[in-house]
Structure 1
Amino acid sequence: MNVRISRQHWDGLLAELDQARRQRHLVTYRALLERLQLPSPAMLTLTSALEHLAAMDVKAEQPLRSSLVISQGASRLPRTGFFECVGRLGRFAGPPDGVAAASWHASEVVRVFEHSYEHEEA
């Protein structure tokens, strides 16, 4: 299924992730859905956009901004689909849950916090 996101929603997503990065905090899928007001199917649109962004970041050889988006559950990790996506992109190898995933995610988040993305203007 091909899911599209409007330019306005895409720009909003990038702005939300940039703000989270600058403030050095993570954001939940639910918070993004509420802030962006994506049309239905909102979660599918959001996950497709995050996967597209991950592919763009891999191509640009930079840390994955989509790693800043997490579930609101106790794990405080992205959903398993995120780990499957980054596995397909060659950035992570291992089961999508457990210690290896948590460790990889923690180190990727630090990399995102410390990276300056080209599109940024002061």
Structure 2
Amino acid sequence: MSVSISRHHWQALLGELAQARRQRHLLTYRALIERLELPTPAMQTLTAALEHLAALDARAEYPLRSSLVISQGASRLPRTGFFECAVRLGRFSGPSDGVAAASWHASEVVRVFEYDYPEEA
């Protein structure tokens, strides 16, 4: 199944992530879906958009802005698919759960907070 996001929702997603980065806080998948008012299938659309953004960031050698989106569960980490995407992009190696994933994610979030993305200037 092919999933796409509208230009309006894509720009809104970038805006939400830029604001979260400036305020140095994380967003949950659920909060982002609600803020963006994504239509069904909302989670699949958001996931596809975040993976596309991760690929763009990796190609430009930027920290992965998609790391700012986490599950609302106790782990406070992104879903497994985020780590699988990071592995495909050559940014992370290892299991998608456990200490290595949590540590890599924490350092990636710090990198995102500290990076000046050109399109946000």
Q: Helix, strand or coil for the counterpart of 1:86?
A: helix
| Partner in structure 2 of residue 4 of structure 1 | 4
**Cα distance, 1:15 vs structure 2:** 0.3
Aligned to 1:21: 21
1:38 paired with 2:38, answer yes
Separation (CA, whole Å) in 2 of partners of 1:120 and 1:19: 10
Unaligned runs of 5+ in 1: none
Distance in structure 1 (CA, Å) of the matches to 2:81 and 2:106? 17
TM-score between both structures, scaled by the size of structure 1: 0.98
State the aligned residue count. Answer: 121
Q: CA deviation at 1:120?
A: 1.1
Structure 1: 4+ residue segments shifted above 6 A = none
Q: CA deviation at 1:64?
A: 0.2
Partners of 1:9 and 1:105 in 2: CA distance: 25
Q: Any idea what the Cα deviations from partners look like across 1:69-118, whole Å, max 9, x if unmatched? A: 00000000000010001101100000000000000000000000000001
Structure 2 counterparts to residues 1-122 of structure 1, below 5 A:
1-121=1-121
Give structure 2 stretches of 5+ with no counterpart. Answer: none
Q: Residue 2 of structure 1: CA displacement?
A: 1.8
CA RMSD of the aligned region, Å? 0.5
